[in-house]
Amino acid sequence: MSKQSIFGRISQLAKANINAILDSAEDPKLMLDQMVRDFTTSIHDAESAIAETIGNLRLLEDDHREDVAAAASWGGKALAASRKADELRGAGNTVDADKFDNLAKVALGRQMSSENEARAAEPQITAQTAVVEQLKSGLNAMKEKLGQLASKRDELIARSKTAAAQSQVMDAVKSIDMMDPTSEVSRFEDKIRREEARVRGASELAASSLDAQFESLEDLGELSEVDARLAALKAGSPSTPAIDR
């Protein structure tokens, strides 16, 4: 991928509207997963391209510093040669004086060349520095977007799990509806009620049988008294017992 396409990708992804993209997605989670992968890959590619761009800028800056240092060095040599020429000329040695003046001129020429190269590199360095800053800013924006994407994905996954858990609870509640007469609980309750009714019926039946037994005992008592009176009559005794006065 070329650096130009990387830079365009940085701008495009940094400006991406996550919510708008998700609104148009059929499956937001799948879309987020894909976007996280795309952003991660693009960030990796962008970091490589930006690192190369920064490296080129640093080379320009190094060359500029060397040119500035060279200009200063040649200026110093030109000054030293010029002073030597003046010294020799003052001593009457014009031949050597001219020789050192020529050396001073060569040094001054080298100085001017280095200065020109330094000046020529300055606009390029300024422009390249601005580009690097823009790229760094775009890369940081991409990383922020990646963080938003990861957070949004985690939020959607958590909400999806919560919704699934709520759905399971609702299904469980529906399957154990206490008001449903066909439910297992209702049938079990009805079975218990029938057993309780049977026990009450058995109790009533037992009580009824006991009353009948007592009634039969009372009847037997009355028959015994009749027999006793009959025996008394036969024996010539009064049939009615005396009443205490």
Q: For residues 163-175, give the mean pLDDT.
A: 77
On average, the pLDDT of the chain sits at 79
**Banded pLDDT at 221 (limits 50, 70, 90):** low
pLDDT for position 195? 82
- Separation of CA 238 from chain center: 114
| Annotated domain spans of the chain | 3-175, 177-245
Q: Which residues contact 234 (CB under 8 A, 6 or more apart)?
A: none
What are the pLDDT digits (tens) for 178-201?
A: 555 556 667 777 788 888 888 887
Least confident window among 126-130, 134-138, 163-167, 221-225: 221-225
Instruction: Return the percentage of the chain with pLDDT > 90, whole number.
Output: 32
What are the pLDDT digits (tens) for 53-106?
A: 999 999 999 999 999 999 999 999 999 999 999 999 999 999 999 999 999 999
Q: For residues 143-147, give the mean pLDDT.
A: 84
Least confident window among 152-166, 168-182, 192-206: 168-182
DSSP string for residues in the chain? --HHHHHHHHHHHHT--HHHHHHT-SSHHHHHHHHHHHHHHHHHHHHHHHHHHHHHHHHHHHHHHHHHHHHHHHHHHHHHHHHHHHHHHHTT-HHHHHHHHHHHHHHHHHHHHHHHHHHHHHHHHHHHHHHHHHHHHHHHHHHHHHHHHHHHHHHHHHHHHHHHHHHHHHHHHHHT-TT-TTSHHHHHHHHHHHHHHHHHHHHHHHHHHHHHHHHHHHHHHHHHHHHHHHHHHHTT--SS-----
pLDDT for position 41? 85
**Which CATH code of 2.30.110, 2.60.40, 1.10.287, 3.30.70 fits the domain covering 3-175?**
1.10.287
The closest of 95, 76, 75 to 85, measured between CA atoms, is 95
pTM for the full predicted model: 0.54
Would you say residue 2 has pLDDT above 60? no
Task: In whole angstroms, give the CA distance from residue 132 to residue 153.
Answer: 31
Which pair of structure tokens corresponds to residue 147?
């963080």
pLDDT for position 1? 43
